[in-house]
Amino acid sequence: MEKAVFCDFDGTITAEETFVAVLKKFAPELAAEIIPSMYALQIPLRVGVRQILESIPSRRYGEIIEFTRTKKIRPGFREFVDFLHLSEVPLIVVSGGIKGMVEAVLGDLVDRIHAIHALDINTAGENLQVISAWEGESELVDKVKVMASYNGENAIREASSLQLIAIGDSVTDLNMAIASPIVFARDRLAQYLDQRQKNYLPWNDFFDIRDTLTRMWQL
């Protein structure tokens, strides 16, 4: 069966959250007002994140990317990319953050990743403008929508049914995890899956995931 790995970015590939840090640094007042309401589920992420991002002047976009560039990647990610490449399994990065941030952190690894799905930003106007090809009911990037597209218009080769592997760390990965037969979960995502009695593989770094998949695929 054809396989595809769908991996979250923030707090998963990066060792710490970068996107919330950007919102707090570049729009401190609005972030302080809106972020707690998003956590309390009073404002959908889709609305709150857009409102905060679109309050930031376009001229600061370069600073946002530079602020992100120095963020650390979790150990073993480069080796994991090599492993998937060798196994001919596509790696798809799915992030609710800004695509330019993901690319800045990944650097030369970008070319070795099958696709990155995240927010595009238009900097032509006074303030940032958010563009999302994957907007869902509650989030700007509906990760399940992205996954589903790989059995449809974005189909890898002619696979009609892909074996989905999901990797994540938090509540924004929950639906993606529920939709995947194989899930690697850490932090809050693991707790949410425990509550729902959904099976998952715990992980700490990308060496763990590589070693588990090696055993699973008997390479």
Beta-carbon contacts of 168 under 8 Å, excluding residues fewer than 6 positions away, are 7, 8, 12, 174, 176, 177, 183, 184, 185, 186, 189
Shortest distance in whole angstroms from residue 9 CB to Mg ion: 7
14 touching Mg ion, by CB under 5 A: no
Shortest distance in whole angstroms from residue 173 CB to Mg ion: 6
Q: What share of the chain is helix, strand, coil (3-state, %, to 5)?
A: 45, 20, 35
Classify residue 6 as exposed, middle or buried by CB count within 10 Å of its CB (0-12, 13-18, 19+).
buried
**Which of 14, 18, 68, 170 touches Mg ion (CB under 5 A)?**
170
- 139/169 with CB nearer Mg ion: 169
Shortest distance in whole angstroms from residue 147 CB to Mg ion: 16
Shortest distance in whole angstroms from residue 86 CB to Mg ion: 26
**Which of 11, 48, 90, 100 touches Mg ion (CB under 5 A)?**
11
CA distance 26 to 73: 22
96 touching Mg ion, by CB under 5 A: no
Question: Residues 195-204: contacts with CB within 8 Å, 24+ apart?
Answer: 203/167
Stretch touching Mg ion by CB under 5 A, among 8-16, 29-37, 132-140, 197-205: 8-16
Residue ranges in contact with Mg ion by CB under 5 A: 8, 10-12, 169-170
